[in-house]
Amino acid sequence: RYGAKAVYRVDEVREAVDGVCPGLALPQSTRCVYRCQLDIPGVLSVSTPGTFVRKKDAEQAAAQIAIEKLGIQPTSNIPNTPEEAWEELISRISYFFTDENFPTSSHPLVGHLSVTLRRTGDFLGKIPISAIIACDVKVHTLCKIIDPKAEFDPLLVLSMIYNAAKQSPGVSVSNRNFWIQSQRPYSPEAVDLALQCWSGISDPIRVEAVLIPCAMEDGPKMVSLNISENEHYMGDIALKLSATDPSHVLVSRTVDKASSEMRFYFPAPDVQFVSDLSKQLVDDRENRNMNCIINKRASYISGQTIYGDAVLANVGYTRRDTELQTDHVNLCTYYRILLRKLPDGIYKISKDSILVAELPCVYARTSWKGPSPRDLLCSFCRLQRLSEPYFAANRVSASCNVLGSAVGSEEMGSAKATAGNQCANDGRIAKENPDMFKCSVKIYSKKRDLLLEYSTDYSWSKETDAIQNSALKVLIWFNRYFKQLNTPVEKLYLPKSTDGFTIYPNIFLQEFAMCLSVYGKTSGGDSRTCSAVGYFSMDTSYQQLESSAFLTDIDGQDSGVFPSHGSLACISYSVHLFMKDSRKRYLLEVNNEFEFEIGAGAVRNQLESCATQLSVNQSACFVDQLSDRDLSLAAACELSLDLSKICRETAASWSSP
């Protein structure tokens, strides 16, 4: 009733985390959070009372408040059985093509339909079945109820929608392609309203995208999509993928941010009769014929099975606008998505320092900058399709036994153990023996199989410090695991390591199998020898400071004040890339105000060595070998197209004024 009128406005704010001692002028750690205001013109306007870490959560909270104020009693109509879901799927598809009011609605599928209604000839009113996959969440939900495997396989979803459409009243599908249309034409009034509400393309649109080949030995490359008037945007994507026609282009779920329309587009397999697709899927899976055409890189990023070459593009229709939404995607976008899935990736991006910043090896509330370790670990688990990490904070008293308090990732600080009655002496806890806290962490798969657990003998005076330090230890373990090269399983997975980690290798390898195929390679013919390094191969283990950086162009008077271990340094720096035999330079990264703690492992060793050799207000340059081309591409937003052609055997100049 109100969906078409609803306007969401999400505001981004910064808030302090891990409270700092009041009265002390200490730097605060902040994080980016969101609040949302929902306006329904002429009806009501509501705002979220608090803030949220994710935009989607803020929008959902505002919608919930609006529902309550409007007195709407939502009823659950989710089917309970696969049979009920199948009947609902048939009804849902029939609604798209038989309801006269649907072409005038704000459903994104009408955007696809409006393009075809501007055509003439055989394609008038025909849309690809994959447009339904891209636009309707409810169809996805029904397919997952029918077969849970549909969550991870767009090809299976295509097969379900096609077979359901054949049984849907008023819907027509072909036996040789994946077009779908209404059996009878829409009324002229409905067509006119749809064309008025959904704007067409007046001028050709050029959109940059990235082609990710299926073959791992072939690197991703830039392609340009040209969208013409009265042409569906999947038409040019089909040409880039050598697909039979636009109806043979499949789409993944949205990639990266939920608010974007960035998806993978890939070709459907060729079959003589489309109705045989379901049978072929079963036969090919049994014979494992389809494993050889799985695009491992695209599948790892999307969390779904992507077949063949894939195009990563940001284009599509949404409820938020009546025009086709487009945005450029380049190699920088692609490599940043890969970087975000690494344990230290979000931290690097949050610091605006991809090439310099490193995940610190110690945590302190007063000096930590950027997202907290706990937030970083939760984000890492979500991006790897794992369950939310489980934190168990324990209160340790000098006069009592350990008392546990389980803290889930959504409940930190809400379930603290109460030990006062058991540990108090005359109603008081001895001040000379204050309570301390420990925290253990467990990482589970989506199926709730335990793959890693961490416990420590260290304790902290505050529960939040115990949780954050334990989360950081787990992050560092994952970070080092991702950087290891050709490590035998027997050496990597100890039943109980001295660092407090217990790894369950079978479950672990099963969950990270796709990840290993993207970031690493298997060598020596031994399937039990794993490498997790391919992209972003940088050693994250912090080493003792070395004065090995050879400084040049030292400028500024020696003030006699040098940064020491434990001090907070603030620098500005720029990173340039240049060829050994060329004078051409590429600006990769620049940061005019970058803070880090000396000795905390928060930056590259070479840069910290440089900083400790300079006094305040001095500047210098030093040269270092390029650690990884792909990391440079993630940093260089504007130069990725040129940089992709540069070989790995180049040098990087690190300038740190």
Q: Which has more confidence, 400 or 216? A: 216
Q: Give residue 311's identity as a one-letter amino acid code.
A: V
Q: Give the span between the Cα atoms of 557 and 163, in whole angstroms.
A: 77
- Residue 471, pLDDT > 50, answer yes
Average pLDDT over residues 176-201: 81
Question: Which range among 295-304, 380-389, 474-483 shows the weakest confidence by mean pLDDT?
Answer: 474-483
Angle of helix 373-383 relative to helix 463-483, nearest 10 degrees, comes to 50
Length of the chain: 657
Confidence class for position 644, pLDDT limits 50, 70, 90: low
Q: Give the span between the Cα atoms of 289 and 266, in whole angstroms.
A: 18
At residue 80, the 3 state secondary structure works out as coil
Q: Give the span between the Cα atoms of 363 and 373, in whole angstroms.
A: 8
Element (H, E) at 341: none
Cβ-contact 118, 230 below 8 angstroms: yes
pLDDT tens-digit map of 51-66: 888 888 899 999 999 9
- Residue 446, pLDDT > 50, answer yes
Q: Give the span between the Cα atoms of 303 and 178, in whole angstroms.
A: 24
Q: Which has more confidence, 430 or 260? A: 260
Average pLDDT over residues 8-23: 71
Cβ-contact 97, 170 below 8 angstroms: yes
Q: Is 390 left (phi over 0), alpha (psi -120 to 50) or beta?
A: beta
A 10 A CB-CB count for 374 gives 27
At residue 462, the 3 state secondary structure works out as coil
Q: Which has more confidence, 30 or 212? A: 212
DSSP H helices, 395-484, are 420-423, 463-483
- Residue 640, pLDDT > 70, answer no
Q: Give the span between the Cα atoms of 373 and 476, in whole angstroms.
A: 10
Nearest to residue 545, comparing CAs of 572, 575, 569?
569
| DSSP string over 610-646 | HHHHS-TT-EEEEEEE---HHHHHHH-TTTHHHHTTS
Q: What is the pLDDT of residue 117?
A: 82
Q: Which has more confidence, 123 or 363? A: 363
Q: What are phi and psi of 551, to 5 degrees?
A: -90, 140
Tell whether pTM > 0.75: yes
Nearest to residue 210, comparing CAs of 336, 383, 317?
336
Q: ∠307-309-315 over CA atoms, to 5°?
A: 100
Confidence class for position 638, pLDDT limits 50, 70, 90: low
Q: What is the pLDDT of residue 309?
A: 94
Confidence class for position 125, pLDDT limits 50, 70, 90: confident
Cβ-contact 471, 373 below 8 angstroms: yes
CATH class of the domain defined by 7-19+27-70 = alpha beta
Burial of 549 (0-12, 13-18, 19+ CB in 10 A): buried
Average pLDDT over residues 406-424: 42
Q: What is the pLDDT of residue 289?
A: 53
Share of residues in the chain with pLDDT > 90 (%): 30
Burial of 157 (0-12, 13-18, 19+ CB in 10 A): buried
Q: Give the span between the Cα atoms of 204 and 526, in whole angstroms.
A: 53
Cα Rg, the chain, nearest whole Å: 28
Q: What is the pLDDT of residue 229?
A: 73
Asked whether the CA dihedral 597, 395, 496, 532 is positive or negative, the reply is: negative
Q: If you ran DSSP here, which 8-state letter would residue 52 be given?
A: B
Nearest to residue 353, comparing CAs of 572, 547, 638, 30?
572
Q: Give the span between the Cα atoms of 516 and 240, in whole angstroms.
A: 28
Cβ-contact 593, 52 below 8 angstroms: no
Structure tokens at 71: 């007195």
Q: Give the span between the Cα atoms of 530 and 358, in whole angstroms.
A: 24
Mean pLDDT in the chain? 78
Angle of helix 82-98 relative to helix 137-146, nearest 10 degrees, comes to 150
pLDDT tens-digit map of 477-511: 998 888 774 455 445 544 445 578 888 888 888 88
Tell me which fold the domain 552-653 belongs to.
Chitinase A; domain 3 (3.10.50)
Question: Which range among 207-221, 264-278, 329-343 shows the weakest confidence by mean pLDDT?
Answer: 264-278
Q: What is the pLDDT of residue 546?
A: 42
Confidence class for position 83, pLDDT limits 50, 70, 90: very high
**Every domain of the chain and the residues it spans:** 7-19+27-70, 82-279+292-329, 552-653
Q: What is the pLDDT of residue 540?
A: 37
322 contacts: CB under 8 Å, gap ≥ 6: 111, 197, 198, 199
Angle of helix 154-166 relative to helix 82-98, nearest 10 degrees, comes to 70
10 contacts: CB under 8 Å, gap ≥ 6: 34, 35, 36, 55, 58, 59
Q: What is the pLDDT of residue 129?
A: 93
Question: Which range among 231-245, 277-291, 377-391 shows the weakest confidence by mean pLDDT?
Answer: 277-291
Q: ∠254-258-261 over CA atoms, to 5°?
A: 50
Nearest to residue 573, comparing CAs of 541, 611, 540, 524?
611
Confidence class for position 91, pLDDT limits 50, 70, 90: very high
- Residue 627, pLDDT > 90, answer no
Burial of 68 (0-12, 13-18, 19+ CB in 10 A): exposed
17 contacts: CB under 8 Å, gap ≥ 6: 29, 30, 31, 372
